[in-house]
Structures are given as C-alpha cells and as structure tokens.
Amino acid sequence: MAPIQHRGLAAVSLLLLLLMTALAASAEQFRRPWGEPVWEPPHPRGQSIAITLKTDPTQDHEAACVALQIGMNLLMTAVTVDRAQVDVEPARDVTLFPTLAGVELVNPANDFGTEEYQCATQDGPTPLRDILANYVWMGGRVVVCGLCAIDRGITEPTYGAIGTAQQVHEMFLYADKVITY
C-alpha cells in the first residue's frame, strides 16, 4: 500500500507544480489600461498618476491650469530649483480625467486661447489651450468621462478620447495616486 500512496503524493505534487506554473504564466497576461495587449507589474520606479478635473474651466480656469502643470511636472526628468536643474524621478504615466463640468476643457465649442484664460507659469502668462497642448506633447494622456461628455453634447473632444467603462475602471484600479481638482 505504501508505493501507491507515494505515487498518489507524487501525482498531487506534479499537479500542484503544473497549476502554479500555469497561474504564474497567466499572471503575465493581464491587460494594460488603454487596451495594450499585456499588463506588466508596476516598475520599481515611477508611478501611474490619475488627475481628475471636475471644475468647469469656463467658470474657474485656475484649477485646470494647476492640474495640467502638475501633470507636466510629474512627467519631467529634471526641474529647476533656485536656477539650477535638479534630476527627479518622472511618473511612469499621467492621465488627466476631465469629469463633471471639467469636461468643458476639451469641448470644441470653448476657446481657451484667449486673454481671459491665461495661466500663471514660470515663463509668464500662457493660454490654457497651450498648457493643455504642452501636457499632451509631453506624453500626458487625456481620458474624458463619457457620461459627462455625452450629457454636455461633446462627441469629439479637442484632446484625448472619451473613455470606455473599461478604460476608466482600469485607470483608477492601476493608479498609484489620484489627484483631484
């Protein structure tokens, strides 16, 4: 009877080893947010940051100015401190999520290039439209709240895309930090 028990124990051990190998292999096949084919575990350096903008920039553009400049700062590899360049660790990715009235930032009906919508920057006043363009140019993403955009008649945002339920879910699920304006 002892040899049968050893064979049974060996079979169970082999089955557990195969199951653990299969689980480890499937763990490598998670989806990335944004529909990329494979999700990788977070890198030891750099974080995924989501910035939500709920303030209507047509009523108070300062929140959008600050949110976008914080986003750009997080994407930088160096910043200026006392007139000297200092190396910093950049975020792995930064996503702006305009939601509620904040979706007005990407409404094509709004012109944020006028004198009325100037942002205070280190280089002097800069139109909000240019700050948004620079944020995107630096690699910042814009994922627009779909329900909020639809409610305001926005079907083609000026920057980014209207987020799907899956994109929004994964953006917040995988975010290391969420900043709200």
Asked if residues 70 and 22 have their Cβ atoms less than 8 Å apart, the reply is no
3-state secondary structure of 81: strand
Does the pLDDT at position 149 exceed 80?
yes
Q: 18 and 54 share a domain?
A: no
Would you give the DSSP letter of residue 70? Answer: H
pLDDT for the residue 43: 52
Does the pLDDT at position 98 exceed 80?
yes
Average pLDDT over residues 177-181: 97
pTM confidence score:
0.75
- The pLDDT-based confidence of 165 (bands split at 50, 70, 90) is very high
> Is there a domain that residue 38 lies in?
no
Q: 18 and 98 share a domain?
A: no
How much is the mean pLDDT over the chain? 86
Continuous H helices in 53-137: 62-75, 128-137
Q: 13 and 73 share a domain?
A: no
Considering only 1-10, 114-123, 136-145, 165-174, which range has the smallest mean pLDDT?
Answer: 1-10
Residues 49, 46: Cα–Cα separation, whole Å: 9
Count of domains for the chain:
2
pLDDT for the residue 32: 47
Percent of the residues in the chain that have a pLDDT greater than 90, as a whole number? 72
Q: 4 and 55 share a domain?
A: no
> Is there a domain that residue 154 lies in?
yes
Q: 22 and 60 share a domain?
A: no
Q: What is the CATH number of the domain that holds 159?
A: 3.40.1260.10
- The pLDDT-based confidence of 171 (bands split at 50, 70, 90) is very high
> Is there a domain that residue 3 lies in?
yes
pLDDT for the residue 60: 97
> Is there a domain that residue 147 lies in?
yes
Domain enclosing residue 124, as ranges:
43-180
Q: 8 and 66 share a domain?
A: no
Q: Which residues lie closer than 8 Å to 140 by C-beta, 6 or more apart? A: 68, 71, 72, 75, 94, 95, 96
Q: 82 and 8 share a domain?
A: no
Q: 21 and 68 share a domain?
A: no
> Is there a domain that residue 36 lies in?
no
Q: 11 and 50 share a domain?
A: no
3-state secondary structure of 49: strand
Q: 18 and 72 share a domain?
A: no
Q: 7 and 54 share a domain?
A: no
* pLDDT (tens digit per residue) in 56-96: 999 999 999 999 999 999 999 999 988 899 999 999 999 99
Q: 3 and 57 share a domain?
A: no
> Is there a domain that residue 35 lies in?
no
* pLDDT (tens digit per residue) in 15-51: 555 555 554 545 444 444 555 555 555 555 789 999 9
